[in-house]
Amino acid sequence: MRTAQWCGIGTGLTLFLTAAVVLAQQDPELLFAVVTKVSKDRQQVTAQVSSGGVVSEATLIASEAVLDNLIWKKLEVCHALKAEAWKNAEGYRVVSIRVLDAGMLPMALQGFAGDCMVKKALEVAPQAD
């Protein structure tokens, strides 16, 4: 009986570890994003994300390598990004990141980026007086 339990546990662990290795070997997904909200701890940001041609609001979560990246440390609302990430239950785990000019975003995000910049300019304009 005890041997059967250990064999069952061993088989389960082997299947679990095999699945983890297969997932780790998959290439990260390429996505484009416009940042809409930056958290205080800078561990994650909320963004409009285009992945596979579909635009939706999602959370971008920095991996350890990205947390140390100067781009991630300086992120602000309306920044346009090109990133590689793995999708998980919480959002996207970002493994590489680049800042883009908004004109380099997919068409579905360019309008959103433009609207974001106009809103940001209107918020700053009253402070200029």
- Please, what is the average pLDDT of the chain? 84
Look up residue 102 and give its two tokens: 């908004």
Domains of the chain: 28-128 (2.40.50.140)
Q: What 3-state class would DSSP assign to 47?
A: strand
Q: What is the pLDDT of residue 19?
A: 44
pLDDT of residue 122: 87
Q: How far is CA 71 from its chain centroid?
A: 13
Tell me what pLDDT residue 6 has: 55
Question: What is the pLDDT at residue 52?
Answer: 85
pLDDT at 21: 45
Strand partners, 62: 94
pLDDT tens sequence across 73-101: 999 999 999 999 999 999 999 999 999 99
> Does the pLDDT value for residue 124 go beyond 70?
yes
CA-CA distance, 53 to 70, in Å (whole number)? 28
DSSP secondary structure code for residue 27 in this structure: P
Judge whether residue 7 has pLDDT over 80.
no
Going by pLDDT thresholds of 50, 70 and 90, the confidence category of residue 24 is low
| 36 Cβ neighbours under 8 A, 6+ residues apart | 45, 46, 47, 48, 57, 77, 116
Nearest of 37, 49, 40, 39 to residue 94 by alpha carbon = 49
Q: What is the mean pLDDT of residues 57-72?
A: 94
pTM for this entry? 0.74
Q: Which of 24-28, 58-62, 116-120 has the lowest mean pLDDT?
A: 24-28
Please return the burial class of 110, using the count of CB atoms within 10 Å of its CB with bins 0-12, 13-18 and 19+.
middle
127: pLDDT strictly greater than 60 = yes
DSSP output for 69-129: -HHHHT--TT-EEEEEEEE-SSSEEEEEEEEE-GGGS-HHHHHHHHHHHHHHHHHHGGGG-
